[in-house]
Amino acid sequence: MGVILANVILAITFAFLLVAGMLGIALLAVIATLFFHLNLGLPNDGNKQYETSERQGFDMLSDAYGAGFHSTLVVIAEPDE
């Protein structure tokens, strides 16, 4: 009787771990998919469609002044105490 009960508990535990592992892999796949679609940075006119006048102006300025002309300026400063 005890051996049968132990085998049943072992089978239930194995099934639970198998389902939990598959759910964990599915969750990691969803998170990885979202990670690869992550867009860091602030939006600018370079994200617009090629046909818009905003994008054409953005491209003209980039051609005239070089890459990075539209970049944001980030300043890090330590305050005096």
What is the token pair recorded at 40?
Answer: 């860091």
Contact yes or no for 45/55 (Cβ under 8 A): yes
Q: What is the DSSP-derived secondary structure letter of residue 40? A: -
Question: What is the spatial distance between Cα 25 and Cα 33, in angstroms, rounded to a whole number?
Answer: 12
- Per-residue pLDDT of 3-57, as tens digits, reads 888 988 899 999 999 999 999 999 999 998 888 877 676 677 778 898 999 999 9
Residues with Cβ within 8 Å of 30's Cβ and at least 6 positions away in sequence, in order, are none
